[in-house]
Amino acid sequence: MCVKMKYYLSWGGGVNSTSLIACHILKLLKIPIDDLTIIFCDTGAETAETYKYINSVIPILKKLGYRIVILDPKNKPEFYRKHIQGYFLPEFLFLKKWILYPRVKVCQYEWKTIPIRYFMKKDSGAAGFYKRNCRHLLSIASDEQHRAIKKDKQFFKYPLIDLDIDRSKGQDLIKAAGLPQAHKTGCFFCPLQPQKSLFEVLRRHPLYLNQIEQLERSCNDTFTSIPKYFYNKMPIRKYYEYLYAKDALGWKIRKKLPLQPEPIIV
Ligand code: SF4
């Protein structure tokens, strides 16, 4: 019996994943539109710009006939593991007194990988055999090939690498497909983001600084009693001041900064 293959595209609202959608709109991917599902997993911690972008693109995609699924632990708890059900990421960290450390991507696993996997299993109707009937399209651009995991090449597909599309070409494709220009995405408090990106997010949204401070205060740090932003040596407010000074001096300066920053009004 011939099994109809189903394709699932993880969409984060950023440049790469939106450029993958653009590839499909521009017919660069040989996948019938009815076999494709676009999935957005909402961690509850995306920046305001990302939510605005997602909300502006969804109507365009729906009009073109795309199937879009939004997964979140409150409205679709069945696709999350029991202890995550009902909790967005910031709430979970706050209530469970957890802290995120870089490299341990438990957040990504619980709020993105698992829900997508559970959804595929249910949607394909193949449960344990879902990998046979499904393909997971990942939006790793050709200029970041090292991020493409080596195992399971059959199940995970990397169309941007296959088509040699890097971030800059991706932006052109987004434009050509008639979609609004995408930007960098990620949780506002992501400990993995570069310093400059964190600084920009906090400068645009001073309230996020307060929210990270609340998380700092709530966390059970077993190593020290001083609240500090995830893995940093200083609390987030002090760290922001440090980044502020660094920004004023230029990001390329690596030597120790004189920590006499401008006062921050938040
Ligand atoms: S953006 Fe950062 S904090 Fe958010 S899920 Fe991904 S790794 Fe975790």
Q: What is the pLDDT of residue 125?
A: 82
Distance 34 CA to ligand 1 centre (A): 30
For residues 13-18, average pLDDT: 97
Task: Tell me the C-alpha distance between 45 and 72, whole Å.
Answer: 11
The string of pLDDT tens digits covering residues 40-97 is 999 999 999 999 999 999 999 999 999 999 999 999 999 999 999 999 999 998 888 8
Range of the domain at 211: 195-249
Residues 78 and 118: beta-carbon distance below 8 Å: yes
Q: Which residue has the higher pLDDT, 38 or 242?
A: 38
Q: pLDDT grade, residue 2 (50/70/90)?
A: low
Distance 187 CA to ligand 1 centre (A): 5
Task: Tell me the C-alpha distance between 232 and 250, whole Å.
Answer: 21
State which ligand 1 atom lies nearest to the alpha carbon of 105: 7
Range with top average pLDDT, 19-28, 150-159, 213-222, 236-245: 19-28
Instruction: Choose the residue to mutate in 190, 201, 208 for probing ligand 1, maximizing ligand atoms within 8 Å of C-beta.
Output: 190
Q: Both 99 and 146 in a single domain?
A: yes
Q: Both 10 and 142 in a single domain?
A: yes
Distance 136 CA to ligand 1 centre (A): 19
Task: Tell me the C-alpha distance between 216 and 228, whole Å.
Answer: 6
Q: Both 130 and 28 in a single domain?
A: yes
State which ligand 1 atom lies nearest to the alpha carbon of 111: 5
Nearest CA, atom 1, ligand 1: 186
Find tokens 């909300």 and name the residue: 55
Distance 245 CA to ligand 1 centre (A): 26
165 in a structural domain = yes
What is the percent of the chain where pLDDT is above 70? 85
185 in a structural domain = no
Task: Tell me the C-alpha distance between 182 and 184, whole Å.
Answer: 7
Q: Both 131 and 232 in a single domain?
A: no
Q: pLDDT grade, residue 149 (50/70/90)?
A: confident
Distance 18 CA to ligand 1 centre (A): 18
243 in a structural domain = yes
Distance 24 CA to ligand 1 centre (A): 26
Structurally, the chain folds into a number of domains equal to: 2
Q: Both 152 and 236 in a single domain?
A: no
Q: Both 82 and 204 in a single domain?
A: no
Nearest CA, atom 2, ligand 1: 190
259 in a structural domain = no
Chain-wide mean pLDDT for the chain? Answer: 87
Q: pLDDT grade, residue 254 (50/70/90)?
A: low
The string of pLDDT tens digits covering residues 153-198 is 789 999 999 999 999 999 999 999 999 999 989 999 998 888 899 9
Q: Both 98 and 125 in a single domain?
A: yes
Q: What is the pLDDT of residue 261?
A: 43
What residues contact residue 233 under an 8 Å CB cut-off, 6+ apart? none
184 in a structural domain = no
Q: Both 164 and 65 in a single domain?
A: yes
Q: What is the pLDDT of residue 173?
A: 98
The string of pLDDT tens digits covering residues 34-43 is 999 999 999 9
Q: What is the pLDDT of residue 232?
A: 67
Nearest CA, atom 3, ligand 1: 190
Q: pLDDT grade, residue 202 (50/70/90)?
A: very high
Residues with CB under 6 A from ligand 1: 43, 45, 100, 105, 107-108, 111, 186-187, 190, 192
| Model confidence, pTM | 0.89
Q: Report the b/e string of 12-40 with b at 16+ CB within 10 A.
A: bbbbbbbbbbbbbbeebbebeeeebbbbb
Q: pLDDT grade, residue 265 (50/70/90)?
A: very low
